[in-house]
Structure 1
Amino acid sequence: MLILLDSLIVITSIYVGYYTLHPYFNFYNFNLLTISSITLLASHHLFAFKYRLYQRAWEYASVGEVLGIVRAITLSIIAAGVMQYLVNGNVYVRVLGITWMLHIILIGGSRFSWRMFRDNYMNSQIEKKRALIIGAGSAGSMLVRQLKKSSDNDLYPVAFVDDDPKKQRLQIYGVTVAGKTIDIPKLVEDLNVEKIIIAIPSLSKKEIQRIYQECSKTTATTKIMPMIEDIVSGKVSVNQFREVQVEDLLGRDPVQLDIDSISKTVTGNTILVTGAGGSIGSEICRQVSKFKPKKLLLLGHGENSIYQIDMELRNKHGKDLEIIPIIADIQDRDRIFEVMSVHAPDVVYHAAAHKHVPLMEYNPKEAVKNNVIGTKNVAEAADMFGVSTFVLVSSDKAVNPTNVMGSTKRIAEMVIQKLDKESQTNFVAVRFGNVLGSRGSVIPLFKNQIQAGGPVTVTHPDMTRYFMTIPEASRLVMQAGALARGGEIFVLDMGEPVKIVDLAKNLIHLSGYTTEEIGIKFAGIRPGEKMYEELLGENEVHKKEVFPKIFIGKTVEFDYERVANLIENHQSFDGGYLSKYVLGLANKKERMLVKSVN
């Protein structure tokens, strides 16, 4: 159809050009015009095929297609001029000039008319939601172009928002930059916006948090455009948006890894992960698998969780990695020593623990048996069988502990710090804040409460916590193992603490509801909880980073003989003495309790 249409345009245009100039007089040789017309036809199709004008998707036509048309037409006009000169010794410049313009208008117009029909008529017949695009850069422009030309999406861009003052009031693909991010609430209301798309893939977490605070003041749903690399690689399309995640609102960028140092620690070695079925433990296993260890030991007490991570890793890495699932309880000393003896791991990541603060307040003996005795068993087995590096997953609650869980973690730190002084193994600890999305954390609880229609229960309006993502937590464990020299307590710079009530409000909005619809109920501080968490005690602080955003706490002197004595009594008397000592730590009355125990 295009070839026939072009042929008709080319054959007739030179005559139209002639009669436009001289409607009543015959100034030119009619036979020469006929020869010129035939030359134009032949040369046009030659150059049209050269510039592939008949192999283009014209519904997506843009500047590249226009240039192809101009080149083909210009060269065909030049060919006709050369023919006129050879036959007649003269060139009809004005006629050829008008013919050139007619070709551009008619041939170019025939191509772009389909795109205009598709964009302005066909797409307008589809009911679409009005969208506000944040970011008028290359990503935002690409997004608007895709949304306007595609009939497969349900969004219609009505305005851009961008903080660049040079872009204000400009139009990009017919869409106006209507304001800055501070204007988002007003624009959403004035333009009846239903969707907000953040189209700045390189945005830092802090900037995402700032922008989202403005978006959360509206009733519109907020989503984020995928990364440009993922679009280019074909993993996703431009209009495959993802939801804004709670992780996006931490207000800081994730900590990066020193790949080389971790590779030296993990690649080609046997790695043991305790608590491998848990939130942190399973993610450590996923991250470790990427570094191609010789053997990966998945140790855990619950067979279902170990089965799940075992099958997941086998599906991804089964051909390249020997994976051994081990069902064992870290409280079973003989079993742990047997595992260490048989498999001889090079590195141990000890993530097995009881971590739920209120539950451990009611069950201090179990907290002691798992977090203290279990850690002692694994650490002493690591020492005996020559493990190179042992990394304990600790908690920020071990700093000035006010609860049983934090106290048991602090004693676990004491156990490995004491062992480090006597052993060839490098024993280190990593202190975490709260891990977003881990089992028992507030995020799953809040999501369940929102799904049930609310209210979301928050302990206190002023309670704050440090937060990190599950992948971040696991990477910090691996980085600590790579940096370990022995006896350190590694701490991540987790930015500013986050108010739990703000987290709840963000999660409600991310779920598509308003705070008024779901409601927030303050339930009061639970047993053992602090209002504010600390990552290091006053006498533990090293201000200098050992790695970007990773700090080392100073080693603090402590009386380990007292702890060792209580651990021995604990083993003899089924948890009584040491659990009392732990409670004493939590209530800061250890002197009185130790005296009464003795």
Structure 2
Amino acid sequence: MSNLYSSTYELLNKYRKYILILIDTFIILISFLSPHIISGVHPDKIIWFENTWYIYTTIYIVTFVLMGVYKNIWRYAGIQDIFKCLQANILANIIFLVLTKSLNIFVRYYVYIVAFFVTSFCTLAIRIVYRAILIIGDKNTKKLSHYTNIMIVGAGEATVAILQEISRNNPNNYMVKCIVDDDKTKIGRTINSVPIVSSTDEIPAMINKFDIDEIILSIPSIDKENKKRILDICAKSKCKMKILPEVYSLLTDNKNILDKIREVQVEDLLGREPISLDCTLTKEYIQGKTVLVTGGGGSIGSELCRQISSYGPKKLIVLDIYENNAYIIQQELVRQYGDTLDIEVEITSIRDKNKLNQVFASYDIDIVFHAAAHKHVPLMEKNPEEAIKNNVIGTYNVVQAADEHNIEKFILISTDKAVNPTNVMGATKRIAEMIIQSYNSHSETDFVAVRFGNVLGSNGSVIPLFKEQIKEGGPVTVTHEEITRYFMTIPEAVQLVLRASSMAEGGEIFVLDMGEPVKIKDLAYNLIKLSGLEPEIDIDIEYTGLRPGEKLFEELLISHDKNQVKTNIDKIFIEQPTSFDEQELFELVKELEQAAYNTDIEKIVYFLEKLVPTYKRTTNEKCSKSTECA
């Protein structure tokens, strides 16, 4: 049967236009005969029949050709194509009526009426049948014999759009078996012949009943709490899960809605509403200013560039040592904003003091966001001298340049690992905080730091690593069963950074509320389940041990008393500054720089401990896959 469909499909596809013309010709003749057959009068006894049938047929075929009926791709036919075919029928019949009357050819009126209805019905019907044969043949030709059984969650307009798109174009070979929705008035009804079978609480039972392979969450406006509840229910099955993005990304139109369906991401399971702030003050702060972003091609830096660009800066300067990343964000912003955004790219290292001074002298910079840094904890444990050169000396160079050129505001992107650091990376970021706090006390520039935890999807994040390991069949490597981290999405973190910087007066260390810490083990389990697999059965979890410098739990505040200050923004706090000897700080920084360039590890550790009294280097054994563990 499959071969028969495939052969029919190939034949119809190759000669489709000519086959349709022949079929239409036959239909038109039968339609013209139908009034006489109905009346019981043989055509031979009708003197005008032999003089008019060819006129009627010619008028119809020519009208169909001129109106483009044969140009339609009936495999994807919609209501407009059907309406065009009906219009062609009406026009052809009117032309035939006018022509016969003008030539004084006698035709009874009931012939016009019956012939029109029969022709219209048959030409439309044959195209619907033709379309069905093409679709079946298309599926067999592409060997799409195995359907993906789909359950859709949500019985709203988005689901209607999905079903309509699947009926027109179905490259993934979806077979929508059922819909679930919590609106009880919809249960028992259908959308495009697909039944609405139950509420979301009964999803597991419906998965078994309809043998579901994949679930699509089709409620773009759903709140985070309900999204997490539904995804948690779905995660208990072995079904793959996809989701429509938030409602704002669907506002333009519902065309190609299947392309907008994405994989479920870990942030969908965080169970909290995304952070959304009033951007008015941020826009007033950025608009018309010249802004420099160091590390502008990185995950945080590039998002800073995106959001800054949306606020109408006078000029945006992207500074990065890695030209590929800088080029990518430059081209993205050029495509989006065109000539309305003045953007410059500077390729240099923040270690190069002379080039930095040249950059600062070339532009009248108002604001600096300093995101350039080495951030990978295990790699910096193995290469502490590089962390010193980049995170300490590089920051010092940018701070000095900002001070010398009277920059309005300098914002350091810091990390929760700077709090009671147990690793070189965290210690270097704490020293960077101390440098900007020291400069703030005697500079015209307002120096501030913004401290936050891990961001989902950033370069070096554990999430892309887990996804790659799952794709390869495992194992997924987790350093410790109890290890936890704070998580926030990159856009959320950058939004808070910009808002904090707009309210900064100088000297503050802003701390972002990252919500509740998340177990890395739970992240791994959720990602495996979201892939339609079972943890510890389909994909193994391998615990590799804490890496050098790694904590089980991260902290966001140095002080553990009531000294942190609330701001008027719920998610932003200010860490009270700790006292230190500024003269000793810069003397030790010089010593640290010499030790780094001499690659003297013992001295580096010694000076780090002197500079950061809370720095306690851990003795975790290095895991066998130090750059591949979470």
Q: Smaller-chain TM-score range? A: 0.7 to 0.9
Question: C-alpha deviations, 1:529-552, integer Å up to 9, x for none?
Answer: 25364479643242632xxxx744
Alpha carbons 2:392, 2:432 under 8 Å: kept = yes
TM-score of the superposed pair, with normalisation by structure 2: 0.72
After superposition, residues 562-573 of structure 1 pair within 5 angstroms as 562=581, 564-569=583-588, 571-572=590-591
1:118 pairs with 2:134: yes
For 1:246 and 1:198, the matched residues in 2 are separated by 15
Choose the corresponding residue for 1:584, options 613, 619, 622: 613
Choose the corresponding residue for 1:158, options 173, 177, 183: 177
Choose the corresponding residue for 2:407, options 353, 375, 387: 387
Q: Which moved more, 1:317-326 or 1:225-234?
A: 225-234
Alpha carbons 1:131, 1:197 under 8 Å: kept = no
Query: Secondary structure in 2 aligned to 1:324?
Result: strand
Structure 2 segments unaligned to the other structure (5+ residues): 1-17, 596-603, 618-630
Q: Structure 1 residues 207, 487: CA separation in 2 closer, same or farther (over 3 Å shift)?
A: farther
Query: Secondary structure in 2 aligned to 1:158?
Result: strand
After superposition, residues 236-251 of structure 1 pair within 5 angstroms as 238=258, 242-251=262-271
Residue 116 (structure 1) shift: 1.9
For 1:122 and 1:339, the matched residues in 2 are separated by 60
Alpha carbons 2:330, 2:345 under 8 Å: kept = yes
Residue equivalent to 2:319: 298
Query: Secondary structure in 1 aligned to 2:609?
Result: helix
Residue 132 (structure 1) shift: 0.8
The aligned amino acid for 1:352 is: A
Alpha carbons 2:419, 2:556 under 8 Å: kept = yes
For 1:535 and 1:99, the matched residues in 2 are separated by 85
For 1:47 and 1:156, the matched residues in 2 are separated by 38
After superposition, residues 198-597 of structure 1 pair within 5 angstroms as 198-200=217-219, 208-224=227-243, 238=258, 242-252=262-272, 255=275, 271-276=291-296, 278-281=298-301, 283-284=303-304, 294=315, 296=317, 298-300=319-321, 306-312=322-328, 321-329=343-351, 340=360, 345-357=365-377, 371=391, 374-398=394-418, 405-406=425-426, 409-410=429-430, 412-447=432-467, 449-450=469-470, 453-474=473-494, 476-492=496-512, 494-510=514-530, 513-515=533-535, 516-522=537-543, 529-531=551-553, 533-534=555-556, 538-542=562-566, 544-545=568-569, 551-554=571-574, 556=576, 558-560=578-580, 562=581, 564-569=583-588, 571-572=590-591, 579-581=608-610, 584-586=613-615
Q: Which moved more, 1:431-440 or 1:529-538?
A: 529-538
The aligned amino acid for 2:162 is: L
Residue 114 (structure 1) shift: 0.4
For 2:193 and 2:591, the matched residues in 1 are separated by 79
Alpha carbons 2:151, 2:212 under 8 Å: kept = no
Question: C-alpha deviations, 1:435-465, integer Å up to 9, x for none?
Answer: 2233443235435654665443434545432
Choose the corresponding residue for 1:189, options 208, 212, 223: 208
For 1:128 and 1:286, the matched residues in 2 are separated by 42
Alpha carbons 1:226, 1:236 under 8 Å: kept = no
Q: Structure 1 residues 41, 166: CA separation in 2 closer, same or farther (over 3 Å shift)?
A: farther
For 2:359 and 2:564, the matched residues in 1 are separated by 35
Q: Structure 1 residues 380, 443: CA separation in 2 closer, same or farther (over 3 Å shift)?
A: same
Residue 504 (structure 1) shift: 0.8
Alpha carbons 2:458, 2:490 under 8 Å: kept = yes
For 2:260 and 2:576, the matched residues in 1 are separated by 51
Question: C-alpha deviations, 1:348-394, integer Å up to 9, x for none?
Answer: 22123444456777888876776556544432431222112211101
Q: Structure 1 residues 25, 341: CA separation in 2 closer, same or farther (over 3 Å shift)?
A: closer
Residue 33 (structure 1) shift: 7.7
For 2:491 and 2:394, the matched residues in 1 are separated by 25
TM-score of the superposed pair, with normalisation by structure 1: 0.75
Alpha carbons 1:570, 1:577 under 8 Å: kept = no
Alpha carbons 1:209, 1:250 under 8 Å: kept = yes
Alpha carbons 2:179, 2:198 under 8 Å: kept = yes
Alpha carbons 1:123, 1:151 under 8 Å: kept = no
Q: Structure 1 residues 292, 114: CA separation in 2 closer, same or farther (over 3 Å shift)?
A: farther
For 1:256 and 1:317, the matched residues in 2 are separated by 23
Choose the corresponding residue for 2:190, options 143, 147, 171: 171
Question: C-alpha deviations, 1:198-243, integer Å up to 9, x for none?
Answer: 4455556655544433333222333446899689889967358543
Paired-residue identity, %? 38
Residue equivalent to 1:127: 145
Q: Which moved more, 1:144-153 or 1:283-292?
A: 283-292
After superposition, residues 29-40 of structure 1 pair within 5 angstroms as 30=46
Question: C-alpha deviations, 1:87-123, integer Å up to 9, x for none?
Answer: 8999755x66644542343122122110122234553
For 2:332 and 2:421, the matched residues in 1 are separated by 40
Residue 52 (structure 1) shift: 4.9
The aligned amino acid for 2:80 is: G
For 2:96 and 2:327, the matched residues in 1 are separated by 72
Residue 433 (structure 1) shift: 1.7
Question: C-alpha deviations, 1:23-53, integer Å up to 9, x for none?
Answer: 3899xx9568889978966875687578654
1:62 pairs with 2:84: no
Q: Structure 1 residues 424, 217: CA separation in 2 closer, same or farther (over 3 Å shift)?
A: same
RMSD of aligned residue pairs (Cα, Å): 4.9
Alpha carbons 1:297, 1:324 under 8 Å: kept = yes
Alpha carbons 2:241, 2:264 under 8 Å: kept = yes
Residue 434 (structure 1) shift: 0.3
The aligned amino acid for 2:540 is: G
Alpha carbons 1:119, 1:148 under 8 Å: kept = no
